[in-house]
Amino acid sequence: MDVEPFTLDLARPLSTARGELEHREGFLVRIQYADAVGVGEASPLPGWTESLDACREALEWAPELAEDEDWGVALGETNAPAARHALSLALGDARAQRANKPLYRSLGNDRLVRRVPVNATVGDGAVEETADRAAAAVDAGFDCVKIKVGARSVDDDVERLRAVRDAIGPEVALRADANGAWSREAAERAFDQLAALDLEYVEQPLPADDIPDLSGLRDDGVAVALDESLSSRSVTDVLAAEAADYLVLKPMALGGPDRARMAARQARQAGVTPVISTTIDSVVARTAAVHVAAAIPEIPACGLATAEWLAEDLGPDPAPVADGQIEVPQHKGLGVELAE
């Protein structure tokens, strides 16, 4: 196994639970598995995964355990999610290569999937600016638009969303993402006003740990999607609490493509719709997330159109976005060619 650190500058600062990031740091992992070499990525994100140092330690320890036992044991004993993501992805890439099939088919989908729908994300802005950017996304072919809310008053955000709905029409799916910014009272007030706008869902309307209140919000006429809550609660616990209509699953935060695919199955069995997203990763993990989405039948629009967040990348993008869909690589394995 080979581990190589990397740092990538962001095109613009990224707001996280721990403040703003201006670059992404992580590790490329290559694992020799039989006659194939698989590649994985560990990109820790504050508030979601282990620290960079803890990730490094986990990656140093895993091959020792694999040598003493095997890679299955090493995966089972690796509790750091970003590190486990890299190991699981590298092994999955190598196994898919040996099976001469793309990664998504190795994850359990035997049908051909060429494209996956993705949403456009519109950040915080004034009413006219938000509506114009949403309309531009629809003109570019997106059938689903997600609007960032929570930085302004509820009334201001409702006005922004109403303007967006007027600009994009009734046929385009509209989502809002509050990133846990609202109180229960504010969320109830927002939901009362948003019910008429036919939103697909509001993502993380309350702080991550407010699971009981999130369960209560589901009766207020607007569907609830949970994202940040999965950084502190297991998928099993969130589903048992009946706190969500949608789960936004990030393979990096969950510990690998295999765990994300398993979480999607759990969600579907519980009547909850899975959506796949990234943690603003390099081309390696981002492409892996595309494969996870392609492995899930009838997946709705996913948060995978994130390449533009990076000012630079580790290699060319094999999964470009066009007309609101992202291309699924059909090469054997992951399908990523890294720059020399």
Query: What kind and span of H or E run contains 27?
Result: strand 19-33
Residue 217 structure tokens:
């919000």
CATH topology of domain 115-327: TIM Barrel (3.20.20)
Asked: is 2-100 a CATH 3.40.50.10540 domain? The reply is: no
The torsion angles phi and psi of 44, rounded to 5 degrees, stand at -60, 145
Exposed / middle / buried, residue 57 (Cβ in 10 Å: 0-12, 13-18, 19+)? middle
Chain segment 146-204, per-residue pLDDT in tens: 999 998 999 999 999 999 999 999 999 999 999 999 999 999 999 999 999 999 999 99
Q: Which residues are catalytic?
A: 148, 250
**Cα radius of gyration (the chain):** 20
* Residue 20's pLDDT band (cuts 50, 70, 90): confident
Domain boundaries, the chain: 2-100, 115-327
The pLDDT assigned to 156 comes to: 96
How far apart are alpha carbons 73 and 185 in whole angstroms? 47
Q: Report whether pLDDT(297) > 80.
A: yes
Task: Give the Cβ contact number of residue 222 at 10 Å.
Answer: 23
The pLDDT assigned to 50 comes to: 95
Chain segment 304-340, per-residue pLDDT in tens: 999 999 999 999 999 999 999 999 999 999 999 997 6
Tokens 């689903």 belong to residue: 144
The pLDDT assigned to 16 comes to: 56
| Residue 85 near residue 285, CB atoms below 8 Å | yes
Chain segment 215-274, per-residue pLDDT in tens: 888 876 899 999 999 988 999 999 999 999 999 999 999 999 999 999 999 999 999 999
Return mean pLDDT, the chain.
Answer: 94
Query: What kind and span of H or E run contains 138?
Result: helix 127-139
> What single DSSP character describes residue 302?
B
Exposed / middle / buried, residue 270 (Cβ in 10 Å: 0-12, 13-18, 19+)? middle
The pLDDT assigned to 123 comes to: 87
CA dihedral of residues 251, 254, 257, 260 (deg, nearest 10): -90
Is 227 a known ligand-binding residue?
Answer: yes
For range 13-35, the mean pLDDT: 84
Is 298 a known ligand-binding residue?
Answer: no
The pLDDT assigned to 13 comes to: 82
The pLDDT assigned to 131 comes to: 97
| Residue 316 near residue 337, CB atoms below 8 Å | yes
Sequence-separated (6 or more) residues with CB below 8 Å from residue 178: 149, 150, 187, 190, 202, 203, 204, 205, 206
Cα–chain center distance at 226: 12
How far apart are alpha carbons 318 and 61 in whole angstroms? 32
The pLDDT assigned to 19 comes to: 65
The pLDDT assigned to 215 comes to: 85
Chain segment 96-139, per-residue pLDDT in tens: 999 999 999 999 998 999 999 999 999 889 999 999 999 999 99
Is 9 a known ligand-binding residue?
Answer: no
* Residue 18's pLDDT band (cuts 50, 70, 90): low
| Helix, coil or strand: residue 295 | coil
The string of DSSP letters for 40-52 reads EEE---TTTS--H
| Residue 186 near residue 205, CB atoms below 8 Å | no
The pLDDT assigned to 15 comes to: 65
| Residue 318 near residue 336, CB atoms below 8 Å | yes
* Residue 62's pLDDT band (cuts 50, 70, 90): very high
The torsion angles phi and psi of 177, rounded to 5 degrees, stand at -130, 110
